[in-house]
Structure 1
């Protein structure tokens, strides 16, 4: 009996994931971004101007991968890459005006989308949703799944 309920719960989570992923990909593409490049922008927002090796470490990806992402973001005008002040072999990645505007727009869009999704939900139901999601995330972590950053 619980198996059917659990399957229905997983079906809803999968559908939610697909819907959010599709919406995110469309929105990012409209701004000339990809999920991977956007992930780098979020990390740069959190860390501030950073060496590429520090971005790679924070994102838990290979430095070579960060180089490719930064190359794309430089080419599209979202970030600049300059010689690192203390190490001529390293590069410092910083936001351009376009990149800063883009990340601020992403933050504002995220806040607005949160309001659209949850503002009409009764407080008790929202609290229950949050608690349930925390339980799901804790279980996923216990199973060895980790956030990439």
Structure 2
């Protein structure tokens, strides 16, 4: 029987590897992980209001303003008038931003293939089930801790 702490240690090691990979990506692409995450959301949803991005990122609207300001400065997004709401603007990827999003999607797909191509589908399905349940359990534990701390 596997010791629970051994499994947790492997998860923590995996988290460390993911953080290191993100740091390399940030260094290579010149974008912070928060800005990359915002671009990823734009790639999935298309042009969005800053309010919608704040909700999706679970951050304050002020935080999103800073992220968008940085992406406007780097040429990855523009702010465009919202067609239905004069008070709102849409954060829209530029051509450079669209290329960055395409690179993110391609890199994501490539990494998934490199990690799991040799894992048979039954084993991968079990891993996915266990990982999904672990993520749900961890999120529930964190939520309970947050409620207990209030």
TM-score range, shorter chain: 0.7 to 0.9
Give the corresponding residue for 2:81.
Answer: 83
* TM-score, length basis structure 1: 0.87
Q: After the TM superposition, which of the residue ranges 7-16 and 128-137 deviates more from structure 2?
A: 128-137
Give unmatched runs, 5+ long, in structure 1. none
Give the corresponding residue for 1:25.
Answer: 23
Shift of 1:122: 2.6
Give the corresponding residue for 2:12.
Answer: 14
Give unmatched runs, 5+ long, in structure 2. 144-150
1:92 aligned to 2:90? yes
How well do the aligned residues superpose, as a CA RMSD in angstroms?
1.8
In structure 2, C-alpha distance between the alignment counterparts of 1:130 and 1:85, rounded to whole Å: 41
In structure 2, C-alpha distance between the alignment counterparts of 1:89 and 1:64, rounded to whole Å: 16
- C-alpha distance after superposition, 1:14-44 (max 9, x if no partner): 0000001111221132111111001111122
Shift of 1:76: 0.6
1:35 aligned to 2:43? no
Count residues in correspondence.
Answer: 143
In structure 2, C-alpha distance between the alignment counterparts of 1:134 and 1:82, rounded to whole Å: 38
Give the corresponding residue for 1:114.
Answer: 112
Shift of 1:144: 3.9
